[in-house]
């Protein structure tokens, strides 16, 4: 079983939910969990929940990067934060991959500082999973969007590599034999979007190893037309925040409506079972986290608000990606491109 | 020389050690969560019964270590199972090569005949009576090690027994506790009679609780440092080694058995050792000594390069200093005994201790 390093101090609910998630993983799997963080606080949490110590080791480290800190400053000036110590454990071979729910910018910078890019890969991509409409039974209700912020502006070569990386990841993790890859653009025609996107479109279209389904527009994102959507970091980040914002506004509006009128409250109550099913279907905690792709070592970034369940699933997904040799799969795909 | 050898040399050389073992979930991996499983357990043959990994090796190791040091070691089993399944259990112990000095079963049929259905599930009275009877038969100077699990009320029963023996819990304080638990009146009378005769010097060294249900370890804080919850019998062996009841070679034998027969790895054993240190069951220094000896014996993986080993030692001492500053104070004892009122409050309804122990704190 692979060893997974977990940044115990990263995230809004760290270390409590992170440690509880790891404790659960220690009971449900044989994955070796290397918890990095304040040993005393980690142990305090462990002692209040069921766990299996045979699968847990702890690296004591009291410094941690806050969620609101400047990632550049923190990564540059503080060598012994839980995030960096966990990354060093991976880089030195004491763990095969790592998981963190901490500061996203710091996670990307840490990966760039400690992990080597796969040969031939020019830039790393931060992927994110988002809920989408499913078209057939058994289809993964979550699609992969990359990049969402690791590389702000991209050249065509980089976007082509993102498509290969996303496809390799989805093939292994979502068990889609031939994931449908699409390019996020302002029109479905291959001539739209400017020079870079047109070039990417042309190159992806000519790749027989890739199931490229063309361009998708913003309104196609949630329709399930593609399993992997490729875009540059700036656009991906805007899309991600927009989706999150809409979800929050929808929740706020529903809550306000429920407070205002009894009939609306009754209506929402009648719908509650359906809403709950929808929520479960698109619950990010079941996916655990999203990968930073392009490095020889895997880094799964969890949502900052991750609870124990999300962390458990992130640890499982990471171990699965290690076992299924996702970085090697990406390396092979990129080598074939050359 | 291991820390345990130094410690054992400090003990009275010939004081016998008495080990009292629970059977189900402590020695045997019995499943009786459902009626079907209960029936299957009742009719199971000896060769079909499965022991908890490492337990047989641990019992043999305790005997071997005691013999090596010229110290008698007596092993007793107390089971709440009915005597009707006694033959299969005795056969199983014989199959495992366990030499024991006594075994007691609970006469469930007698309770059934008396119409005392509650007594079928309530084991505190039965076990206390048998423990106290056993103590009267044991050599007066004998030290005791008690082994149970987190399914029933073993931590409570053994703690009551230890405090009664050590005169920390007199009859006036014991009676309300037994009544609150709901112990049968006849058994209460027997406990009171036996307690008066058995009480003497503090005899119980440690109470080991096999965390078969993975009950959160914080649940056992109220029982004080005498109760040691362990996740596997390697942890138990290490604690016994540090206490001086086992030599390094015995601890290594238990670890080796887990690796060779139960799919354990050196890493799992190393993690188990680390967990004992973090929980304060063994000191950093003792664990370092034990770890080095087990590495030399090939049970744990060979150490890291010298510099990194030094760094680890330095970090360990720093952690120890921090722990001393931050670790909660030991559980205060009411008049020397544990605060049983608080324990029973925690366990809530009498007779339901097992489920209460299983709940996260």
Instruction: State pLDDT tens for residues B160-173.
Output: 999 999 999 888 99
Residues of A in contact with B322 (CB under 8 A): 40
Distance from CA of B358 to the nearest CA of A (A): 9
The CA distance from A205 to A162, in Å, is 14
Q: Is B268 within 8 Å of A54 when comparing Cβ atoms?
A: yes
Partner residue facing A27 (CB), from B214, B215, B270: B214
A48–B360 C-beta distance less than 8 A? yes
Query: Closest chain A residue to B326 measured between Cα atoms?
Result: A40
Structure tokens at B74: 């007596």
CA A41 vs CA A2, A127, A327: distances in Å: 25, 31, 33
In Å, what is the CA distance from A25 to each residue of A52, A308, B233, B258, B265? 9, 10, 22, 22, 18
Write out the residue range of the structural domain in which residue B209 sits.
3-247+329-358
B218 to A47: CB separation less than 8 angstroms, yes or no: yes
Nearest neighbour of B267 by CB, restricted to A32, A43, A50: A32
Residues A49, B360: C-beta atoms closer than 8 Å: yes
Chain A partners of B326 at a C-beta cutoff of 8 Å? Answer: 40
**Which residues of chain B have a CB within 8 Å of the CB of A57?**
270-271, 274
pLDDT for the residue B329: 44
The nearest CA of chain B is from the CA of A52 a distance in Å of 7
Q: Across the interface, do B278 and A49 touch by the CB < 8 Å criterion?
A: no
A29 phi and psi angles, rounded to 5 deg: -140, 175
pLDDT value, residue B34: 62
Chain B residue with the nearest C-alpha to that of A56: B271
pLDDT of B42 higher than 70: no
Structural domains in chain A, CATH included, are 1-121+294-338 (3.40.718.10), 122-286 (3.40.718.10)
More confident position, B319 or B185 = B185
| B270 assigned to some structural domain | no
| Residue A293 and residue A122 in contact, taking contact as beta carbons nearer than 8 Å | no
Establish if B253 belongs to a structural domain: no
> How far off is chain A from B211, nearest CA to CA, in Å?
9
**Which residues of B are less than 8 Å from A40 in CB distance?**
319, 322-323, 326
Whether ipTM tops 0.85, in short, is no
CB contact under 8 A, A53 and B272: yes
Q: Domain for residue B286, yes or no? A: no
Strands B227-230 and B204-210: parallel
A7/B13 Cα distance (integer angstroms): 49
Interchain proximity A55–B271, CB inside 8 Å: yes
In a domain, B252, yes or no: no
Residue B9: pLDDT band by 50, 70, 90 thresholds?
A: very low
Model confidence band, residue B13 (pLDDT cutoffs 50, 70, 90) = low
Question: In 3D, which of B83, B3, B60, B274 has the Cα closest to residue A59?
Answer: B274
User: Is the predicted pLDDT of residue B339 greater than 90, yes or no?
Assistant: no
Handedness of CA B256, B261, B262, B264 (dihedral sign): positive
Torsion on CA atoms A63, A69, A71, A77, rounded to nearest 10: -50
Q: Which two tokens stand for residue A259?
A: 């407070």
Note whether B278 contacts A60, CB cutoff 8 Å.
no
| Interchain contact B26–A (C-beta under 8 A) | no
- The DSSP bridge partners found for residue B147 are B21, B208
Residue B208 has φ and ψ, to the nearest 5°, of: -100, 130
The arithmetic mean of pLDDT across residues B177-203, rounded, is 89
Smallest Cα–Cα separation from B329: which of B221, B226, B215, B205?
B221
Closest approach of B221 to chain A, Cα-based (Å): 10
Give A16's contacts in chain B (Cβ within 8 Å): none
**pLDDT class of A131 with cuts at 50, 70, 90:** confident
| Residues of A whose CB is below 8 A from B231 | 52-54
* Confidence label for A213 from pLDDT (cuts 50, 70 and 90): very high
CA distance A143 to A163: 13
A311: which 2 tokens?
């962390």
- Picking from A26, A53, A60 by the largest number of B CB atoms within 10 A of its own CB, the best residue to mutate is A53
Q: CB–CB of B120/B184 below 8 Å?
A: no
| Contact of A79 with A100, CB cutoff 8 Å | no
Task: Please report residues of B whose CB lies closer than 8 A to that of A45.
Answer: none
Give the C-alpha separation, A99 to A95, whole Å. Answer: 11
| For range B330-347, the mean pLDDT | 69
Residue B349 lies in a domain: yes
Pick left, alpha or beta for residue B201 (phi over 0 → left; psi -120 to 50 → alpha; otherwise beta).
Answer: beta
Q: Which residues in chain A have their CB less than 8 angstroms from residue B150's CB? A: none
Residue B198 counted as domain residue: yes
Which among B69, B59, B24 is positioned nearest to B240, based on CA atoms? B59
Distance from CA of A213 to the nearest CA of B (A): 47
Please give the pLDDT value at position A298. 93
Q: Taking the CA of residue B222 as centre, how many other CA atoms within 13 Å lie in the half-sphere pointing to its CB?
A: 16
Contact B217, B229 (CB under 8 A): yes
Q: Which of B218, B270, B271 is closest, CB to CB, to A48?
A: B218
pLDDT for the residue numbered A52 = 96
The answer to whether residue A18 scores a pLDDT higher than 80 is: yes
Is B311 part of any domain? Answer: no
- In this prediction, residue B314 carries a pLDDT of 59
* Average pLDDT along chain A: 88
Residue B222 lies in a domain: yes
Lowest pLDDT segment from B56-60, B84-88, B120-124, B128-132: B120-124
Over residues B331-337, the mean pLDDT reads: 52
Are the beta carbons of B323 and A40 separated by less than 8 Å? yes
Cβ-based interface (< 8 Å): residues of A facing B:
27, 32, 39-40, 43, 46-58, 60
Closest among B261, B231, B252, B207 to B96, alpha carbons compared:
B261
User: Do B163 and B338 touch, CB atoms closer than 8 A?
Assistant: yes
Worst-scoring range by mean pLDDT, A298-312, B63-77, B316-330? B316-330
DSSP string, B290-314: HHHHHHHTTSSPPPPPHHHHHHHHH
Residue B3: is its pLDDT beyond 70? Answer: no
Q: In terms of pLDDT, which residue wins out, A131 or A126? A: A126
Question: Model confidence at B350, in pLDDT bands (50, 70, 90)?
Answer: very low
User: Are A54 and B272 a contacting pair at CB < 8 A?
Assistant: yes
Q: Which of B217, B272, B323, B328 to mutate to test the interface with A (most CBs of A within 10 A)?
A: B217
B213:A50 CB<8 A: yes
Mean pLDDT comparison of A78-92, A275-289, B79-93, highest-scoring range = A78-92
Indicate the number of domains in chain B: 1
Terminal-residue alpha carbon distance, chain A: 33
Do B218 and A40 lie within an 8 Å CB cutoff?
no
Percent with pLDDT over 90 in chain A: 54
What would the pLDDT profile of A137-188 be if each residue is shown by its tens digit? 777 778 899 998 888 888 899 999 999 999 999 988 877 888 999 999 998 8
- Band (pLDDT 50/70/90 cuts) for residue B49 is confident
Alpha-carbon span A337 to A331, nearest angstrom: 10
φ, ψ of residue A42 in degrees (nearest 5): -65, -45
Q: What sign has the CA pseudo-torsion B292, B297, B302, B306?
A: positive
The mean pLDDT of B52-78, rounded to a whole number, is 94
Q: Find the mean pLDDT for residues B316-333.
A: 53
B32: helix, strand or coil: coil
> pLDDT over 70 for what percent of chain A?
96
Which residues 229-268 on chain B approach chain A with CB closer than 8 angstroms? 231-232, 235, 264, 267-268
Supply B317's token pair. 């001492």
Q: Quote the pLDDT of residue B356.
A: 38
- CB atoms B214 and A47 under 8 Å: no
User: Which residues of B are less than 8 Å from A60 in CB distance?
Assistant: 315, 319
User: How many beta-carbon pairs below 8 A join chains A and B?
Assistant: 55
Structural element, H or E, at residue A269:
helix A262-281
pLDDT of residue B249: 94
């Amino acid at each position: 079983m692979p060893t997974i390093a977990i940044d115990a101090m990263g995230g809004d609910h760290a270390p409590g939910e992170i440690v509880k998630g790891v404790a659960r993983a220690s009971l449900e799997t044989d994955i070796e969990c290397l918890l990095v963080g304040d040993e005393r606080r980690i142990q305090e949490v462990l002692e209040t929940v069921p766990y299996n110590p045979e699968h847990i080791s702890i690296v004591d480290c009291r410094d941690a990067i806050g969620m609101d800190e400047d990632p550049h400053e923190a990564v540059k000036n503080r060598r012994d934060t839980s995030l960096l110590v966990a990354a060093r454990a991976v880089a030195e071979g004491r763990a095969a991959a790592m998981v963190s729910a901490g500061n996203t910018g710091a996670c990307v910078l840490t990966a760039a500082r400690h992990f080597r890019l796969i040969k031939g890969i020019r830039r790393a991509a931060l992927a994110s999973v988002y809920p989408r409409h499913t078209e057939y039974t058994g289809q993964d209700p979550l699609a992969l969007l990359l990049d969402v912020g690791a590389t702000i502006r991209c050249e065509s070569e980089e976007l082509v590599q993102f498509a290969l990386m996303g496809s390799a990841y989805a093939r292994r993790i979502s068990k889609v034999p031939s994931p449908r890859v699409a390019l996020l653009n302002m029109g479905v025609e291959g001539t739209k979007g400017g020079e870079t996107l047109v070039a990417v479109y042309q190159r992806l279209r000519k790749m027989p190893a890739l199931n490229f389904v063309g361009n998708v527009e913003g309104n196609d994102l949630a329709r399930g037309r593609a399993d992997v959507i490729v875009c540059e970091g700036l656009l991906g980040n805007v899309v991600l925040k927009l989706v999150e914002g809409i979800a929050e506004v929808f929740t706020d509006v529903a809550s306000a409506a429920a407070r205002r009128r009894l009939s609306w409250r009754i209506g929402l109550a009648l719908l509650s079972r359906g809403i709950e099913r929808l929520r479960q279907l698109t619950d990010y905690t079941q996916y655990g986290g999203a990968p930073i792709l392009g490095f020889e070592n895997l880094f799964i970034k969890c949502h900052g608000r991750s609870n124990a369940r999300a962390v458990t699933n992130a640890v499982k997904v990471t171990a699965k990606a290690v076992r299924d040799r996702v970085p090697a799969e990406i390396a092979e795909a990129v080598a074939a491109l050359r | 020389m291991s820390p345990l050898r130094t410690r054992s040399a400090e003990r009275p050389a010939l004081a016998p050690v008495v080990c009292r073992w629970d059977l189900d979930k402590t020695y045997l991996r019995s499943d009786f969560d459902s009626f079907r499983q209960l029936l299957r357990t009742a009719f199971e043959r000896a060769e079909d019964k499965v022991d908890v990994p490492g337990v047989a090796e641990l019992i043999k190791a305790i005997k071997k270590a005691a013999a090596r040091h010229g110290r008698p070691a007596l092993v007793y089993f107390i089971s709440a199972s009915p005597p009707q399944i006694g033959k299969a259990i005795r056969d199983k112990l014989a199959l495992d090569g366990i030499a024991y000095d006594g075994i007691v079963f609970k006469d469930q049929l007698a309770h059934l005949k008396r119409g005392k259905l509650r007594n079928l599930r309530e084991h505190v009275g039965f076990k206390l009576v048998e423990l106290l009877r056993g103590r009267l038969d044991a050599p007066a100077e004998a030290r005791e090690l008690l082994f149970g699990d987190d399914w029933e009320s073993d931590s409570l029963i053994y703690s009551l027994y230890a405090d009664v023996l050590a005169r920390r819990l007199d009859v006036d304080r014991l009676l309300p506790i037994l009544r609150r638990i709901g112990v049968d009146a006849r058994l209460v009378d027997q406990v009171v009679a036996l307690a008066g005769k058995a009480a003497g010097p503090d005899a119980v060294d440690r109470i080991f609780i096999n965390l078969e249900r993975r009950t959160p370890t914080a649940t056992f804080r109220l029982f004080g440092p005498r109760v040691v919850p362990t996740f596997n019998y390697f942890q138990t062996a290490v604690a016994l080694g540090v206490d001086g009841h086992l030599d390094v070679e015995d601890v290594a034998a238990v670890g080796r058995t887990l690796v060779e027969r139960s799919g354990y790895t050196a890493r799992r054993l190393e993690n188990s050792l680390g967990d004992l240190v973090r929980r304060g069951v063994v000191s950093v220094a003792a664990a370092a000594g034990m770890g080095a000896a087990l590495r030399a014996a090939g049970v744990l993986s060979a150490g890291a390069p010298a510099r990194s080993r030094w760094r680890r030692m330095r970090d360990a001492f720093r952690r120890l200093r921090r722990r001393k500053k931050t670790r909660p104070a030991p559980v205060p004892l009411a008049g020397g005994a544990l605060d049983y009122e608080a324990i029973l409050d925690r366990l809530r309804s009498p007779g339901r201790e097992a489920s209460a122990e299983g709940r996260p704190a």
